[in-house]
Each structure stands twice: as C-alpha cells, then as structure tokens.
Amino acid sequence: MPHTIHSRRRFIRIVPAFGAFVLPGFAALAQDLGGAPRERVWPAPRARGGPMDDPFPSHHPAIVKEMVSVSHGNVARVRELLQQHPELAKASWDWGFGDWETALGAASHVGNRTIAELLIERGAPPTHFSAAMLGQLDVLKTFVAATPGLQRMRGPHGLTLMVHARKGGAPAAPVVAYLESLGGADQPYRDEPLTSEERTSIVGRYTFGDRPRDSFVVAAQNNQLTIARVGAVERTLFHQGELAFHAAGGPGTTIRFERDETRIVALTVHDPDPVVRARRSN
C-alpha cells in the first residue's frame, strides 16, 4: 500500500513546464502554442448563466492556466481572454514545484514581442526578463544597478536572463553584449552525470495514493530523466548527486530515489520537508 507523508506544506501539483528550445523533455507542450492547453488538472469554468464555481470571485484556475499557456504564442487567444477578463494580463501560474510563470514571463522567454508588448500595455508589470527580450538596455541596466547580481536570477522553468535576451533577436543584441560583459547571466543548472544503468534503474511508475492520478511516471528522453504526475506533461530532472534531483524551475524542491540493494524502490518529494513518498509499482 502506498505511503503518503503529510506536512505543513501542501503537496504541489506537477504539471507541464515550457522550454523545449532549451530544456529537453518539454517538446510535447510546444505543440500547444497555437491553442489552449491540452491537459487541464482543473475542471472547466462554469457555463455563462450557470451556478457559480468554487473559485469565485477569483479567476477560475483553468482560465489562469490557459492565459499563461497561450501567452507563449497565441496572440489571438490572448486578445480574446483579455477582452473577457482584462486583469488576466497579470496572470501567474505555478507549473509545479514552485515554478511560477506570468503571462508576460511566458511571452518573454520565447521572444514573442507582440504578446509581451500587448500584456504590458494592458497592465502586466514589466520585469528585467521582459526588458532583456525587448532590447531595453537602459531599463535593464537600471534593474541591475538597483539589485547587483540580478543577471544571475533565473526566470520561468529555470531559464536564464541570457536566454531571454537571445530570444529578442537583433533588437536585443546590445543586451546580449552587456550581459556577456557582466558574466553569470547564462549559468546552466548543475546536473551530475548518471550512468545508463542508473538512468534505467530509475525509470518506472511510483504510486502514492489510490486515486487514478496518484502516481508519478519517470522516463528517459535523450539521456535526460523526466518526471510527470499521471495525466501531465513531463518535467526535466537535474541530478544533484546521490540520486537526488530537482525539476526545472524548482530547485527548492528535492526528489530523492531510494535504493534497496540494486533496485530503486521508492521516491520522496521534499519541499523542503518531506511531502510525499511514492512506492515503485512496476
């Protein structure tokens, strides 16, 4: 029987992250740039005229998640959602493990200038990430002067400030040169090597409850491990040593695999306290 750990921290939903152009394991979500996300953890919002749903008067989570998702590339749907709910310009979604992304953050890390400028026009607070992508060198310099070392801060999904600048293309070339002069703006995640045998031994399904989605699937793609709760798109894992990992965008959460002699038998999620333990089921 699976063993679940309860703590003061609520167990975080594990859902997709975007970033296929930099991080392996996210290619599936890139297919959704032209429309609404294909996977929804939350039920759809109520039909117009129907009974009020539980999140009211907050925006329904499905709408928030969709807004952030389509802000990667679907300008028509962004405009439609902003017409229906203007405050969604400031929408933010946790893709899992504390990997928060705003609608503007989504547009910024893929280099979608049209959507980024639209969101800022509609009230999205500009950031140093949007400034880097938009080629706003003086604005970025002001950010850095106010917070020395800011260039090392990561954006959604762990993407670096340099990634945002490079996605800005030719207009952001001066920003790229400036960040190169600062140093530290494009540091990769730590990812200790694993042998092929170690990767193979970790791949499998891990169950922590009796409901249909109460399990994780760990898979390997291009020699990179990924993890997903059943029904969600996989998240890339980064090895910190001794079979402890964190997911992209969530370095504060640790996923540890337990070994019984030569076999991996369970994983635990720590946030940073133990949150859940899932036993291997295949």
Q: Convert the pLDDT of each residue in 41-50 to its tens digit.
A: 445 666 666 6
Mean pLDDT of 240-262: 95
- pLDDT at residue 17, rounded to an integer: 35
- pLDDT at residue 71, rounded to an integer: 98
Q: How far is CA 263 from the centre of its chain?
A: 30
Q: Helices H, strands E: what count in the chain? A: 10, 10
Instruction: Compute the C-alpha angle 14/20/25, nearest 5°.
Output: 50
Mean pLDDT of 231-242: 89
- pLDDT at residue 98, rounded to an integer: 86
- pLDDT at residue 34, rounded to an integer: 37
The SS3 of residue 226 is strand
Instruction: Compute the C-alpha angle 44/46/52, nearest 5°.
Output: 130
Helix (H) or strand (E) holding 53: none
Among the ranges given (26-30, 105-109, 110-114, 180-184), the one the predictor scored with the smallest mean pLDDT: 26-30
- For the cut 70, the answer to whether the pLDDT of residue 29 exceeds it is no
Percentage of the chain modeled with pLDDT above 70 = 82
- pLDDT at residue 5, rounded to an integer: 52
Mean pLDDT of 150-174: 97
Residue 204 neighbours by CB distance under 10 Å: 17
Helix (H) or strand (E) holding 234: none
Residues across the chain: 282
Residue 242 confidence class, pLDDT cut points 50, 70, 90: very high
The SS3 of residue 232 is coil
Among the ranges given (108-122, 184-198, 221-235), the one the predictor scored with the smallest mean pLDDT: 221-235
Residue 261 confidence class, pLDDT cut points 50, 70, 90: confident
- pLDDT at residue 49, rounded to an integer: 65
Mean pLDDT of 201-206: 96
Instruction: Compute the C-alpha angle 133/135/137, nearest 5°.
Output: 120
- For the cut 70, the answer to whether the pLDDT of residue 2 exceeds it is no
Residue 184 neighbours by CB distance under 10 Å: 14
d(CA 182, CA 252): 26
Which of 249, 210, 216 has the alpha carbon at shortest distance from 230? 216
Residue that wins the pLDDT comparison between 183 and 7: 183
Q: Over the stretch 50-100, which tens digit does the pLDDT of each residue have?
A: 676 777 788 899 999 999 999 999 999 999 999 999 999 999 999 888 899
- pLDDT at residue 47, rounded to an integer: 64
Percentage of the chain modeled with pLDDT above 90 = 71
Mean pLDDT of 220-244: 90
d(CA 238, CA 220): 12
CB 70 within 8 A of CB 78: yes
* pTM score: 0.80
